[in-house]
Amino acid sequence: MEVVQLQTRFVEYTASLFREGYLDAQFTQLQQLQDESNPDFVVEVVSLFFEDSERLLNDLTRALNQQSVDFKKVDANVHQLKGSSSSIGAQRIKNACITFRNFCDEQNIEASLRCLQQVKQEYSLVKNKLDTLFRLEQQIVAAGGSIPVME
């Protein structure tokens, strides 16, 4: 594929992610942090985020399937997830986490499980989207182009 085409796709795809609310301005912040001295910053951070999130989600799943749910722990985990997702601008996860925390406050197991499902879903969605984005990036780089800078 032509570099220009790839770049256009990249821009459009990124725009759609913002438009559909998967990402917010914080992600732009991350992109701005990426420079020559730190060319893979976004990928690094996001990978870390994936790693961290998966761990947290596993912990959460475990914690919520326990006989007696330790909501304090659950809440702490969700808080973590919320913090990291908001840091990378994964808006929808963050929002799901906010709801999740409310149910943690209420100690509502059922709703918490539901929220967990939702967070998981949002997570996998964002993960897919970002993976696609990064693949695009790689393709652009591989094709010798530069990654367009988003506004």
Partner 1 sequence: MVCEMENNHLEEMDIEVLSSMWPEDINEAGRQFNIEKPGGDQDMLEEVTIIEEPTIVDFKRLLELTNYSEKGSSQLAYLVKNWEYKQANVVRLLREELDNLNKQRQEVELKKLEILEEHRFEEERYGCDKRPISILDEVYDIWQDVPRRRNVVVVENKGLEIDAECDTVIYWKQQAMHLEKLFGGKHSARAVVIGHQDKELRYRFIYNHFPSLQEEDIIGKTDVEIFTGAGVKESQEFKREVLERGLPAKREITFETELFGSKTFLIYVEPVFSKAGETIGVNYMGMDVTDQVFDLLIKDEFIMFLLAQQVRKREKMAKVREELAVQKAKETELNKTIHITEETMRAKQMLATMSHEIRSPLSGVVSMAEILSTTKLDKEQRQLLNVMLSSGDLVLQLINDILDLSKVESGVMKLEATKFRPREVVKHVLQTAAASLQKILTLEGHVADDVPVEVIGDVLRIRQILTNLISNAIKFTHEGNVGIKLYVVPEPYPGDGEGHHKIIADQSTVTENTQKDDRCLSMSQCISKQKDFYGKEHEEGPYQNHTLNDEPKTPVENEASMDEDNENHLHLHETTVWIRCDVYDTGIGIPVFYKIYLSVTNDTNILFYTPDICMHMEQVELMGGHLTVSSREHYGSTFTFVLPYKVSPICEDSDDPDELSDMADHDAAVDDNDEDTSSGFFQFQPRTLGSLFSSSSSGRAQKLSANNFGFSAFHKLNGFADDSCSFPSNNIISKEMTSVDDACSVVDASETSSEPKSSLKLSPVSDSKVARGKKCHDDENGQFQNPCKYSSHSSRVSREVDEITKPRDAQETCQMQSKSDRSSRCSSSSGPEIPKSASKPKILLVEDNKINVMVTQSMMKQLGHKIDVVNNGVEAVHAVQCHNYDLILMDVCMPVMDGLQATRLIRSFEETGNWDAAVNAGIEQHMPPSDSSPNGQEFQLSTKRIPIIAMTANALAESADECFANGMDSFVSKPVNFPKLKQCLEQYLP
What does the binding site for partner 1 look like in residue numbers (CB under 8 A)? 25-26, 29-30, 32-33, 35, 38, 41, 44-45, 48-49, 52, 76, 79-80, 82-84, 86-89
Q: How far apart are CA 6 and CA 148, in angstroms?
A: 10
User: Measured from the CB atom, is 25 or 110 closer to partner 1?
Assistant: 25
> Minimum CB separation from partner 1 for residue 108, in Å?
20
Residue 35 CB, shortest distance to partner 1, in Å, is: 8
Cα–Cα distance for residue pair 121/10, rounded to 1 Å: 23
CB closer to partner 1, 33 vs 142 = 33
Assess contact for 137 and 101: CB atoms under 8 A: no
Shortest Cβ 1–partner 1 spacing (Å): 31
Compute the half-sphere exposure of residue 23: CA atoms within 13 Å on the CB side of its CA. Answer: 22
Smallest gap from residue 22 Cβ to partner 1 (A)? 15
Phi, psi of 149 (to 5 degrees): -90, 125
Alpha helices in 20-70 (DSSP H): 25-33, 41-64
Which CB atom, from 48 or from 142, has the smaller least distance to partner 1?
A: 48
